[in-house]
Amino acid sequence: MQILLIEDDLETAQHIISSLREAGHVVEHCVTGADGLARASAARPGSHYGLLIIDRMLPDIDGVSVARRLRAGNDAVPILFLTTLGGVSDRVEGLNAGGDDYLVKPFALAELLARIDALARRAGAAAVETSLKVADLEVDLLKRTAIRAGQAIDLQPREFKLLEYLMRHSGQIVTRTMLLEHVWEFHFEPQTTVVETHISRLRSKIDRGFDAPLLDTVRGVGYCLRDPG
């Protein structure tokens, strides 16, 4: 499942992210309500979030307000609140704002994972994505295979992870920093050309010999995988 975590406590966020990724989820992280609201509002079919995990006490737009704004825009994505506010009135306010579940800090990561599974079942487990497609390029997320125009593409594990992230954000520009964080799980800027090297290898595999290139470099900004049609 693709999950957006909106949490300003970086230590808490890192523990959650590590646990979710170990459980097989794809996680993006924001530290402010404004950034989280912008990302959730901009999500499109094929790159949408299956769940939002929102801390109630954020430094700018609080979590309850984020939920209210999303619901006002008819966004039905499940929302799980994290909070230190455990009173009945606090829970009621969060649920009335559009929250689907409520977990009080401190909490066990095992309980968080169990609540996520429960929300996924409630939303319809049959809708879980098993493949991604951009133009004539398709990846099977279960078999971990890629095919373009009927031709199998041999990808190394890191190349597949890179391609999956680009396809989940098709039509959007992703930066080097985003790739380092979500594909390599680096939370700092190392002095390395690992991104550029892997992009070059991936481009040679998915574009070379085919009618139209799918992977573009946006000079000075990042990369974008898009349907040329």
CA of residue 223 relative to chain centroid, distance: 17
Beta strands 215-218; 222-225: pairing state: antiparallel
Q: In the chain, where does the domain assigned CATH 1.10.10.10 lie?
A: 131-225
Written as one letter, the residue type at 63 is G
Q: Which fold has domain 2-127?
A: Rossmann fold (3.40.50)
pTM: 0.59
Q: Which fold has domain 131-225?
A: Arc Repressor Mutant, subunit A (1.10.10)
Q: In the chain, where does the domain assigned CATH 3.40.50.2300 lie?
A: 2-127
> Helices 10-22 and 109-124: crossing angle, nearest 10°?
60
- pLDDT of the chain along its 229 residues, tens only? 889 999 999 999 999 999 998 888 889 999 999 999 998 887 644 447 889 999 999 989 999 999 999 988 878 889 999 988 877 888 888 888 989 998 988 889 999 999 898 888 776 544 556 789 999 999 998 889 999 999 999 999 999 999 999 998 899 899 998 899 888 878 677 788 999 999 999 999 999 999 999 999 999 899 999 999 8
